[in-house]
A and B are shown apart, each in its own frame.
Chain A
Amino acid sequence: MGEQRTRPSLGTRAEVAIIVCGALAREVLALIRRHGWRVDLYALPAVLHNTPRRIPEVLAERLPQLAQKYRKVIVGYGDCGTGGRLDALLARYPNVRRLSGPHCYEMYGGEAYERQARERPGTFFLTDFLARGFRGLVWRGLGLDRYPELREDFFRHYTDLVWLAQQPDERTRQRAEDAAQRLGLPLTVIPTGYGPLEERLRYLIEDWEPEDVSENKDDTPPP
């Protein structure tokens, strides 16, 4: 699967691995650098989101090795449309846990996302990643380059385009405006920074301790 790995930690081997969706990789890497965390980072292609059922399949191939190699493994996905299948997979590994939350919009937007989704259900959301990759991941991913007549089928009920902006810059803004033009929707920018993602990641890296299963091999719960 075109997996890419970066090593923000140098020197001694990291005890923690993060295997992250490509749609979050840049931001997670920025947070790792900001906090100086010693972790190994693995990234999977964001295009898996176009077929969410593939996400647990691909992770099922990667986790046995990672769970054995590292003291703890953090999965940088939400449920992401896997219908609980991802959680069912992760439940098999006591030292593997995913970021809490349904998807990256909520992880970045938090309350602002929830409010927008509740008050304007016809909102199509962008993150920095999606704004930059809109033409490839969304436009071509939905076949709109080949079948422009499908735009109506996909987007007729949408009323708003909201860019949940992590690090807004002029180039990404232009991409978001291009997306708005293609979709024929008004663009609103909500600067979110890294939102709840930062604290959720910090908790998993710094505070969360996996159960030591080696001391409970008979599955007897501790007293």
Chain B
Amino acid sequence: MAGFEVTPFEDLPEELQELYEDMQDDLYEGLADQVVEGTRRALAMGRSPHEILTYGLVAGMDIVGEDFGAGRLFVPEVLMAAKAMKAAMEVLRPLLTQTGAPRIGTFVIGTVKGDIHDIGKNLVAMMLEGAGFEVVDLGINTDADTFIAAVREHNADLLGMSALLTTTMPYMKVVIDRLKEEGLRDKVKVLVGGAPLSEAFAEEIGADAYCEDAAVAVEVAKKFMALKRAETTPQ
């Protein structure tokens, strides 16, 4: 991680602090053009893509997530904020790749077979990308073979599955059973989410975590990666 630590926010020049706070406000209001403009301004001021992502975008989405959880913001507003972040990420993504910005883990994600609902899954994918994960988004209607192949190909640390229907959520167990058969279950943590799911269901199918919303998914994913690092770091 050396070389990618960002300057503490309070140590940044006042003008820059204001710019990032403006970006957070614009993000909260879902103003994509303004967030992209703020991103370009910060880049023109010589700031690193990683810093802009951290203070301009992720910090803004954290406020959005917090207010959503508290019932102050609703799904349409969260989606507008997410679209604004996505627009800014289009600018930052190639630069983050070029600069070799830290990736804290690889996360394969998809909506399970028979299910076409992807609003929540897309939010999770974007929040994870903002948090520094390499995200492999398999889209909707994803079968077990596709999940398994992606976990193997990308050497994934985490697998996320989403379902909105009671008729499709049992397919998550099919995927988990296939992971076991393929000898991959111990290599990847499985996170599940979607409206009809619960902690009890996640436990019943053998998932590692149930994530109530996108913010929880990011926190859980970070926690698993921290545990993994602790396990693999020599004492």
> Interface on A for B, CB 8 Å cutoff?
50-52, 79, 81, 83-85, 102, 114, 117-118, 121-122, 142-144, 146-147, 149-150, 153-154, 157-158
B141 located at the interface, meaning its Cβ lies under 8 Å from any Cβ of chain A in the complex:
yes
Provide the residues of chain A in CB contact with B167, threshold 8 Å: 114, 117-118
Within the complex, the shortest CB–CB distance from B69 to chain A, in Å, comes to: 11
Asked if A79 and B196 make an inter-chain contact with CB atoms under 8 angstroms apart, the answer reads yes
Contact A158 B196 (CB under 8 A): no
Minimum CB–CB distance for B130 against chain A, Å: 18
Of A52, A85, A102, A143, most B-chain CB atoms within 10 Å: A143
Of B77, B116, B140, B201, which is within 8 A of A143 by CB? B77
- B212 to A: closest C-beta gap in Å: 9
Q: How far is the CA of A114 from the CA of B114 in the complex (A)?
A: 12
Given A118-B114, A157-B140, A158-B116, answer yes or no on A81-B196 (Cβ-Cβ < 8 Å): yes
Partner of B198, one of A83, A117, A142, A154: A83
A sample of 18 inter-chain contacts (CB < 8 A) reads A52-B195, A79-B196, A83-B195, A83-B196, A83-B198, A84-B198, A84-B200, A102-B166, A117-B167, A121-B114, A122-B116, A142-B75, A147-B30, A150-B80, A153-B119, A154-B119, A157-B140, A158-B116
- Whether B79 pairs with A153 at a CB distance below 8 angstroms is yes
Please measure, in the bound complex, the distance between the C-alpha atom of A50 and the C-alpha atom of B201, giving whole angstroms.
Answer: 22
Task: List chain A residues, Cβ under 8 A from B122.
Answer: 153
B78 nearest CB across to chain A (Å)? 10
| CA–CA, A84 and B115, complex, Å | 20
CB pair A150 B79 closer than 8 Å:
yes
Query: Could you say which residues of chain B place their CB within 8 Å of the CB of A83?
Result: 195-198, 201
CB-defined contacts of B83 to chain A, threshold 8 Å: 149, 153
Q: Identify which of B77, B195, B197 gathers the most chain A CB atoms within 10 Å of its CB.
A: B195
Query: Could you tell me the dominant secondary structure of chain B's interface residues?
Result: loop
CB distance from A102 to the nearest CB of B (A): 4
Name B residues whose Cβ lies closer than 8 Å to a Cβ of A: 30, 71, 74-77, 79-80, 83, 114-119, 122, 140-141, 165-168, 195-198, 200-201
Cα A150 to Cα B117 with chains together (Å): 14
In the complex, what distance in Å separates the CA atom of A147 from the CA atom of B30?
10
* Shortest distance between the CB of A87 and any CB in chain B (Å): 10
Chain B residues positioned under 8 Å from A85 (CB to CB): 198
Q: Chain B's nearest CB lies how many Å from the CB of A109?
A: 13
What's the nearest-Cβ distance from chain A to residue B110, in Å? 13
CB-based contact B195/A147 at 8 Å: no
A74 to B166, CA, bound (A): 22
Q: Which residues of B contact A102 (CB under 8 A)?
A: 166, 196
Listed residue (A51, A121, A142) with the most chain B CB atoms within 10 angstroms of its CB: A121
Complex: how many Å from CA A118 to CA B201?
Answer: 22
CB distance from A94 to the nearest CB of B (A): 21
Contacts beyond the supplied A118-B167, A149-B83, A150-B76: 9 A-B pairs with Cβ under 8 Å: A51-B74, A81-B195, A83-B195, A83-B201, A117-B167, A118-B114, A142-B76, A143-B75, A153-B119
Complex Cα–Cα for A81 and B120 (A): 14
Which residue of A is nearest B122, CB measured?
A153
* B116: A residues at CB distance < 8 A: 121-122, 157-158
Please, how many angstroms separate the alpha-carbon atoms of A149 and B117 in the complex?
18
Contacts of A157 in B (CB 8 A): 116-118, 140
- CB-CB nearest in chain A for B30: A147
Bound together, the chains give a CA A143 to CA B195 distance in angstroms of 19
| CB-defined contacts of B118 to chain A, threshold 8 Å | 157
- Among A52, A117, A143, A150, the residue within 8 A (CB) of B165 is A117
- B12 to A: closest C-beta gap in Å: 32
B166 touches A79 (CB 8 A): yes
Contacting residues, chain A, for B74 (C-beta < 8 A): 50-51, 143
Would you call B119 and A84 a contact (CB within 8 A)? no
Min C-beta distance of B48 to chain A, whole Å:
30
Contacting residues, chain B, for A149 (C-beta < 8 A) = 83
Q: How far is the CB of B19 from chain A (nearest CB, A)?
A: 26
- Which residues of chain B are near A84, meaning CB under 8 Å? 198, 200-201
